[in-house]
Structure 1
């Protein structure tokens, strides 16, 4: 939205010369600008709707918002309507449904399609060593706790595997062995990305930001028809267990406590009450001196009774003793 205000905008009807809008605009001009922006957005929305293959009503979108919130805790903003249409229209084509109403009516009776529905609406942006400072902190944490065996880490939003493998590499480097006493649980709600992570195969452009030494030590380069790809070494794969977990499920199927939990760039999709309930369940799963790693845009100030910030989006239990 902010970018729209920097454009040269004509009258709402499209007639008349374009004019610059600068600070100090009068209230009347500001109102005109607001109407022009709203008209422009409405025109774009109507234009997009005319180009759609399937009828997609506001009621359809609201039902989808309700279903994905109830099933996965994801809060879809109104601006996500076009994204939702684009992703789910593929499902209508694949199933032969004629309308979104037909698809949604059948969805509630089809367990397999429920899984695909959730997979379609989840976002899986990830990379190796994303927010790299967290892995420096993790390495120091693991060295301090190296007497604990095994060290247990839960990656609660594993996506296609880059994050849990980054954790595994960090553990190997910090503890100076390819077979560290570390157990890593890598979970996600999306079964498609979990399958990718289990395979551990990535295009070379996914790992090119890592040092050559790190790539040579922890990856096997593909040959022949696999050229341009690399596979994670078996030693790393042995450290990780991939499993499906919906953070809204009553039972996560996890036993014992963890030395660290990574739940990064996930909470931004939940509203504050849902965030709080999930964080409340994280706390007893963290060891007294365990660490919770969050995404760079996430803040848990609303859960200060549960977690205490250590800075750089790293948290500890609020009842933990200061080290």
Structure 2
């Protein structure tokens, strides 16, 4: 059975004891909010890790943030499809380590369609196995605290990291408008699951959400098509900059 069909089958079977058939309309009513959350969580792919695709974080610290350090206004960053939070928290740690003054005026929005995974992200608790991808410099007490005791398998990000990130439920394919324009948008390994038409529509919407000169960082298997390079210029590995 293909993975998606298996996930759908699992979602339907877990939805309710009296649910009799694969009619997805049941998730659209407010009376079924709990079942809707279960359904979405069951079919959502939540594969992530700290500092995944490290070249983006090198670009972030060595160029993008360095160029933004002299900007006196707030810096706005969006992690779209943030899953369990490792991506936005990696961004926050980069800022705090490299440019703490800039970090103090940076706002990070992290969105995902899966409400259950957002609850996990907000708490900021991770197992030591999940933390193995972290560079040693980020594993010290200045970023994490042990849960219960020093031998515990879980560690929690400190408040100063968690407070930099605002988590919000959002379906990228729904109707949305942002109250601010962003300096940087991370949307990595999300659009790969969309059709080409849906991807292009999303790229164009991101252009509107970016400040002039703002950056869009996408997944290693994703590409902005050449016909959009007049508004999103390639500028590094899977990195694009909005034409001013």
TM-score w.r.t. length of structure 2: 0.88
SS in 1 for 2:81: coil
Q: Does 1:211 align with 2:132?
A: no
Q: Which runs of 5+ in 2 are unaligned?
A: none
Q: Which residue number in structure 1 is paired with residue 40 of structure 2?
A: 118
CA distance in structure 2 between the aligned counterparts of 1:316 and 1:178, rounded to whole angstroms: 21
Q: Which residue number in structure 1 is paired with residue 52 of structure 2?
A: 130
Q: Which residue number in structure 1 is paired with residue 64 of structure 2?
A: 141
Deviations 1:169-197 (A, max 9, x none): 11112204595321100011110111111
1:306 deviates by 3.5
SS in 1 for 2:64: helix
1:305 deviates by 4.2
CA distance in structure 1 between the aligned counterparts of 2:81 and 2:151, rounded to whole angstroms: 28
TM-score w.r.t. length of structure 1: 0.68
Q: Does 1:273 align with 2:197?
A: yes
Q: Does 1:290 align with 2:217?
A: no
Number of residues of Structure 1 aligned to a counterpart in Structure 2 = 238
Q: Does 1:97 align with 2:14?
A: no
CA distance in structure 2 between the aligned counterparts of 1:147 and 1:177, rounded to whole angstroms: 10
CA distance in structure 2 between the aligned counterparts of 1:84 and 1:316, rounded to whole angstroms: 37
The alignment's C-alpha RMSD in Å is 2.2
Deviations 1:109-166 (A, max 9, x none): 4441233322221111000000011011111211111122311100011110000000
Of Structure 1 and Structure 2, which has the larger fraction of its residues in helix?
A: 1
- For residues 1-323 of structure 1, what are the structure 2 equivalents within 5 Å? 80-91=4-15, 95-97=16-18, 99-101=20-22, 104=24, 106-109=26-29, 110-112=31-33, 113-139=35-61, 140-148=63-71, 149-176=73-100, 180-216=104-140, 217-224=142-149, 227-252=152-177, 254-301=178-225, 303-317=228-242, 319-320=243-244
SS in 1 for 2:233: strand
Range with bigger deviation, 190-199 or 115-124? 115-124
Considering Cα pairs closer than 8 Å and 6+ residues apart, tell me whether 1 or 2 has the greater RCO: 2
Q: Which residue number in structure 2 is paired with residue 56 of structure 1?
A: none
CA distance in structure 2 between the aligned counterparts of 1:211 and 1:307, rounded to whole angstroms: 31
Q: Is the 8 A contact 1:178 1:235 kept in 2?
A: no
Q: Is the 8 A contact 1:88 1:120 kept in 2?
A: no
CA distance in structure 2 between the aligned counterparts of 1:186 and 1:219, rounded to whole angstroms: 20
Deviations 1:202-222 (A, max 9, x none): 111111232333111211112
SS in 1 for 2:133: coil
Specify whether residues 179 and 151 from structure 1 end up closer, same or farther in structure 2 by C-alpha distance, changes over 3 A only. closer
Specify whether residues 157 and 266 from structure 1 end up closer, same or farther in structure 2 by C-alpha distance, changes over 3 A only. same
Specify whether residues 273 and 233 from structure 1 end up closer, same or farther in structure 2 by C-alpha distance, changes over 3 A only. same
1:225 deviates by 10
Q: Which has the larger radius of gyration?
A: 1
1:86 deviates by 3.1
CA distance in structure 2 between the aligned counterparts of 1:250 and 1:176, rounded to whole angstroms: 35
Specify whether residues 136 and 116 from structure 1 end up closer, same or farther in structure 2 by C-alpha distance, changes over 3 A only. same
1:270 deviates by 0.8
Q: Is the 8 A contact 1:155 1:186 kept in 2?
A: yes
